[in-house]
Amino acid sequence: MKRVLVLCLGNICRSPIGEELIRLQGIKNNFPLEVDSAGTIDWHAGKAPDPRSQAVMRTRGLNISDQQSRQLMVSDFNHFDIILCMDRQNLIDAKRIAQGPAELHLFVEGMDVPDPYYVGETGFEQVYTMLEKASREWIEQWSKKTNS
C-alpha cells in the first residue's frame, strides 16, 4: 500500500481536492492507497475545506465536507511514502522540516497549481481540472512501478 500526503498552504482549497481525487483514482484502478492532506500553516486547523472546494467537488457528485485541515508534521515524513506539493513554495517549506524517507514532488509535474483562494469559482474549476489529470497520471505511474 502506498501512503500519500497531499500538501498545500492552508489545507482548505487545493489539497482537499487533490486528496479526494488521488483516493478515487486509486479505487478506480484497484491501487491500494492511504491518502491524507495537510497544510504548511495551521491557520485553518480543524476546519472543513473551503466552501468553494466543496462546491466544485459536489458538482461532480463528490463530498469532501468531512475532511479537516491540519498542519504538516515532522512525523509525516516517516509515515508517508510520498508528499505531493501544490506549488514550489510548499515544496520548499516541506523540505525545511523534512526528516524521514518520504519523497517530495510537485503534484503537477513541473508546474505550480495556483492557489484559488482569492480568485473565485473559475480558479477552483482550474484547480480541479489540473488535479484530476495529474491524479490519473500519478496512479498510472505508481501502477507501472508496482507491476515492473
Backbone angles phi, psi at 37, to 5 degrees: -140, 160
Inter-residue contact 48 to 10 (CB < 8 Å): no
Is 115 a known active-site residue? Answer: yes
Domains by residue range for the chain, with CATH: 2-147 (3.40.50.2300)
Annotated catalytic residue: which of 23, 42, 115, 136? 115
Is 88 a known active-site residue? Answer: no
Mean pLDDT of 105-111: 97
Mean pLDDT of 103-118: 96
Inter-residue contact 13 to 63 (CB < 8 Å): no
Neighbours of 41 (CB within 10 A): 15
> Residue 49: is it exposed, middle or buried by C-beta count within 10 angstroms (0-12/13-18/19+)?
buried
The SS3 assignment for 112 reads coil
Annotated catalytic residue: which of 13, 14, 36, 52? 14
**Using CA atoms, how far apart are residues 6 and 4, in angstroms rounded to an integer?**
7
Band (119; pLDDT cuts 50, 70, 90): confident
Inter-residue contact 104 to 90 (CB < 8 Å): no
Which strands form 2-8's sheet, in the order they lie side by side?
Answer: 33-39, 2-8, 82-85, 103-106
Annotated catalytic residue: which of 8, 36, 52, 93? 8
pTM of the model: 0.96
Is 87 a known active-site residue? Answer: no
Query: Per residue in 10-19, pLDDT tens?
Result: 999 999 999 9
Q: What percent of the chain has pLDDT over 90?
A: 93
**Using CA atoms, how far apart are residues 61 and 23, in angstroms rounded to an integer?**
15
